[in-house]
Structure 1
Amino acid sequence: MTGNDSRASIDDPPHRATVSDGDVAELEAALTDRGEPYARVTIVRREPPVSANVGDRAVVTRDGELHGWIGGAACAQTTAISEAKAAMDDGKPRFVGIAPDPDEIDRPGLEAFPMHCHSEGVLELFVEPVNPTPELLVVGDSPVARSLSRLAGELAVDDVPVVAGAGDDHVAVHVVTTTDPDAVVEAVGRSPLVVVASMGKYDARGVAAGVAADAAYVGLVASDARSGEVIERAAELLETDPERVRAVVTNPAGVDIEAYTPTEIAVSILAEVVDARANAGSARRPAAEAQQSAEGTESESSGAESAAGEPAESDATEDGTGAADLATDPVCGMTADPETAPAVDHDGETYYFCCAGCADSFREEPESYLERGEAA
């Protein structure tokens, strides 16, 4: 036997759909090329009966899709996906165990979850987040912009200057020479970090490009008076409400360190960029999400002063929206999103489940699970 067939065992079903390691590797390469984060899930230990073997692996994408093979148990896949998404959010790997009795495998360094699917067995997974190096778009060729590009070389970001008409002699490896928002978006990866410092030359186009690229951070170097004009113009370019643009723009960019020289201002902005990158999965929202929640609301004043001593107009890190309420699966105790989870109506109540298997089990014996939940 060759390929995945060489790992087949007597515990496996005679026919199982598999995705080869080659396919998973190709997907990882494609996601990396596109600059999209993902999580690699690898089976490091198993106890039969399970339909997967040590070394089987899968990839979980940012939107929660699982590609590859870690066995056919729906609750195991659900756990793998939820833990992979959490790993992508905080950037920390996870060692996860799934067993009928989690206490039997629970030990330091491992987070144990219940295996409620009929297949039973035990799986232990290593979940590794892969977050590609983010691109830092520096829009403009001002002294502040040049200082930003120079200092960014010390950080774990890919510096991408956006300079209209830049020649081949530019020091950066990757330079975007157009300021057309659509062209800028096409030239960069997903969710970059953006600092607009063209000092009035093409600030609006830079902001529009950042919003259109679903940037994790859009910082603008401008006075309060000019920032309002820039946001209005950017909204016109995007054909959207100015408030939706204002909600995702941080102006003035940079933390308050009483900076005055271009280099000092660049340092203050990079400090904010580092913070934005570290909190991209939680405290800060991508532009598209913030745009959807900002309509009809006004961003709060941060009260902070810019590097040049100007009061901040808004704080893009404030999230005025609450997370969607999650339900608890009455069978296995895991969380379930009511918008996408399987549901069962019983005695006038709707119950949500992490997978179809738990929903089927509840449908057969609803009272036993409800009584167990009340006792707990």
Structure 2
Amino acid sequence: MLFIEVVVPKGRFDVPQRQALAGRLTGRRLLSAAGHDDSAAADPGVIDLLDSLTDVVVREEEIWIAGGRPAEAARDTRYVVNVTAGMWGKELSEHLVSRITAELAEAEPGREPCVMVNVIIVPEGGYGLRGRVHRSPDMLRLIEQAKTGPQEPAPDGTVVDPVCGATVPVGDAVMLERDGRTYGFCCPHCRGHFARSLEAAP
């Protein structure tokens, strides 16, 4: 669901440092509310699924011109991060940019890194998984199957998305009213899937 490519100047980081950078950008860290493993932003099974569908690569570029001059590994901490996002790319763009920037800034305390994050949104029908095209309903079915536990009550000022289990502030939630009940969702995809499932119910 996420392919994250981090490009750094050649020689700036050794192999263990590049591995540590990749470890900071896992799906679990980026998609949880606070970006840390102990966050309960969504059902643990859903976070496990999304983490399993995230790949991170860190590579070095030998030639890098920045601001009209060669970037020097010892002086410049520059990152270009290309994130290929699945069906929620549009909804997640701002979150991904801020989380990735924060994670890379925390990787080098005391330095102010220059981070450029490009979120590339994959159009509907443009995502393949397990040998076939997966569309929004297919991904939402995988998410529903990944849920591990009963839905917990939402903390004050939040709603729990009944599709993916994400906890969302009421002001940010996408709402749906049906049969006198109000539901809150993390994004239009989850709301649409839920609405279709209500219509299909006997």
Q: Whose radius of gyration is greater, 1 or 2?
A: 1
TM-score (norm 1): 0.19
TM-score (norm 2): 0.32
Higher-strand-fraction structure: 2
Q: Which has the higher contact order (CA 8 A, sep 6+)?
A: 2
